[in-house]
Amino acid sequence: MTGRVAWIVGGGTGIGAETAKGLVARGWTVAVSGRRSAPLAALHRSHGAHPFPLDVADREAVSATVEGIIAELGRIDLMIFSVARKETVSPGTYDYDAYARIIDTNLLGAMRVIDPVVAQMRRQGGGEIVLVASVAGYFGLPRSAAYSSGKAAMIALAETMRTELAPDGISVRVVCPGFVKTDFTARNNFPMPFLIEADDAGRRIVSGLLDSKRFEIAFPRRFVLILKAIRMLPYPLFFRIMRKLAGVRKS
């Protein structure tokens, strides 16, 4: 076991799992959590990651998991929240139950983890918290209102935490990936420009975290620049583009 311990929440598959592999390869001791035990066990066998099954909707289980990691590994130097939930809805549909499920997992799930992790990092004298948001949080995307809203809130949360936790020696960063080829995006029924492989995303995240001090780690670069440019457009032009994406005609 090294002196550096990372905990990846949502680390069983996809981006989280590839990030776990990359950190292990760079000499980190890695704990991984997710709802399904089988992928966690597979990561333990293949890369030595320490499995801690967890549903982020269960606040008591989150606290118990933090205590378990501390008891087994001693500390948490880096926590990466890489949990995501998305449900496909038709444009103009705002079903409360669907929104509640998405926000409860993607945003409130992060808060359930952040609270005890911040307390632990204060006790140990510092650490780093990384929130995996999305380029979908740059602005309100058609067909993804709940997902975009939650990711936008996560970006704002990371910005606030970055300032507020600095005096405690706790660094906060945000990761904003574009489209990554995973089981999560396999359900999308629309074109995904600049789609990259999960292992590529994992490498970019690990390199961004360990080889730079950037607050935002966002990729692919061309896609990020396009989306940020759209965000800066005057609203009449911005909404014209959004209507085309949604297939909605102006009444």
Please write the tens of the pLDDT for every residue from 68-89.
999 999 999 999 999 988 776 6
Band of the pLDDT at 184, cuts 50, 70, 90? low
Q: Does residue 1 carry a pLDDT above 50?
A: no
Whether residue 235 lies in the annotated active site: no
Contacts of 202 (CB under 8 A, 6+ apart): 15, 17, 18, 19, 20, 21, 22
CA–CA separation, 148 and 171 (whole Å) = 24
Cα torsion 33, 39, 44, 48: sign = negative
Helical H segments across 26-92, by residue range: 37-47, 59-73
Return the H-helix or E-strand segment holding 146.
Answer: helix 145-164
pLDDT at 173: 98
Contact 49, 10 (CB under 8 A): no
The full set of domain ranges for the chain reads 5-246
How far is CA 144 from each of CA 44, 89, 91, 128, rounded to the nearest angstrom?
Answer: 34, 8, 8, 29
Sort 185 into a burial class: Cβ within 10 Å, 0-12 / 13-18 / 19+.
middle
Q: Indicate which residue of 96, 138, 147, 235 is catalytic.
A: 147
99, 29 contact by CB (below 8 A): no
Which secondary structure element, helix H or strand E, spans residue 52, and what is its range?
A: none
Q: Quick one: angle between helices 14-25 and 37-47, nearest 10?
A: 20
**The model's pTM:** 0.93
**β-bridge pairing 196-197 and 180-181:** parallel
> What average pLDDT does the chain have?
92
CATH fold group of domain 5-246: Rossmann fold (3.40.50)
Q: Which residue has the higher pLDDT, 140 or 167?
A: 167
Q: Is the pLDDT of residue 129 over 70?
A: yes
| Residue 104 DSSP class | I
With beta carbons less than 8 A apart as the criterion, state whether 30 and 6 touch.
yes
Please give the pLDDT value at position 144: 84
